[in-house]
A = this chain, B = another copy of it.
Amino acid sequence: MVNGYWIMDKIGRYEFMAEPFHCDFSGQLFMGHMGNHMLNAADFHSSARGFGMKYLMTIKRSWVLSRLAIEMNEMPQQYTKFNVETWVESAMRYFTSRNFAVIGIDDNPLTSDHSPLTSKIYGYGRSIWAMIDTETRQPTDIYAIDNGAINNWIVADKPCPIDKGGRVKMSGDAELVRTIDTYYNDVDINGHINSVKYIEHVLDLWDIDWYRNHWVKRFEIAYVAEAHQGDQLSFYMEKQEESLTSDHAPLTSFNVRIVRSDGTECCRSKVVFASR
């Protein structure tokens, strides 16, 4: 033990597979399932290091996902195994920033000259988490947990070379494009609409014909307020200007606002499509 902590890598690495029923018509892993794998990795990482959900429940605290941004170079194809690495980039009193890297698994990790191959980098993720008191539902001091133990796990120097994102700005011109009902399978263990299901519902706004020519290069979502089963969710969308990636591939961006039955905004999302 060092300073009361078992020596454990600050970076967690977890293996996942692009399961057949988690892949879209083109054989690529659905973005929702990629988000799910990242959230699982976050949970495994924090649990193994003493600040996971299970422990927090015992002291009436919980992590709440505030933002998630995922940007891919390429999505894993059906049956591909890959690692999700995750680490805490920074912690403040009320928020921590946790990053992700999605990395290929080499069947043959050495090249013929015995130098290690560089693993394929599928993409990265960034997330922001608050800690709440589960009784008052109010934000609570992260440093109060185990004398600021989170600071022992910060990795400030591992690169996560994607945009941090931020508040998605929407004009008043966003159009109502769909209203859906929410059902039993939309609801998570807290009784709220499942964070992963929001990703699916947003990406369902485009049809297969669109996805034949486009794929999700970047997906960003901010969770603003909770919704419950039975709430209707309305989706307002506006298209942004087209832009280019560094290799001159055209990008098309859309901003989406999700509003529940009582008019409260639940989520705001930005989706950046690249052409196939």
Contact = CB atoms under 8 A, between A and B. Distances in A.
Interface size class on chain A is 35 or more
A209 to B, nearest CB: 9
Interface stretch (A19-27, A96-104, A118-126, A143-151): A19-27
Contact of A207 (B188, B189, B194, B229): B229
A25 B188 contact: yes
Given A21-B36, A21-B39, A208 B230 contact: yes
Contacts of A186: 204
A203 B188 contact: no
A188 B19 contact: no
A21 B187 contact: no
Contacts of A30: 185
A195 interface: yes
A26 B194 CA distance: 13
Given A21-B39, A196-B21, A203-B184, A189 B78 contact: yes
Interface in A1-58: 19-21, 23-27, 30, 32, 36, 39-40, 43, 53-54
Nearest to A186: B204
A229 B200 contact: no
Q: Which of A54, A194, A208, A211 has the most CB of B within 10 A?
A: A208
20 contacts: A20-B43, A21-B36, A21-B40, A21-B194, A21-B196, A23-B188, A23-B189, A24-B185, A25-B187, A25-B189, A25-B191, A25-B229, A26-B189, A32-B185, A184-B208, A185-B200, A185-B203, A186-B204, A191-B208, A208-B230
Given A184-B211, A207-B230, 15 more contacts: A19-B36, A20-B43, A21-B36, A23-B189, A24-B184, A24-B189, A25-B188, A27-B189, A32-B185, A78-B189, A183-B207, A184-B204, A184-B207, A185-B204, A208-B229
Q: Which 3 A-B pairs have the closest CB atoms?
A: A183-B204, A185-B200, A208-B229
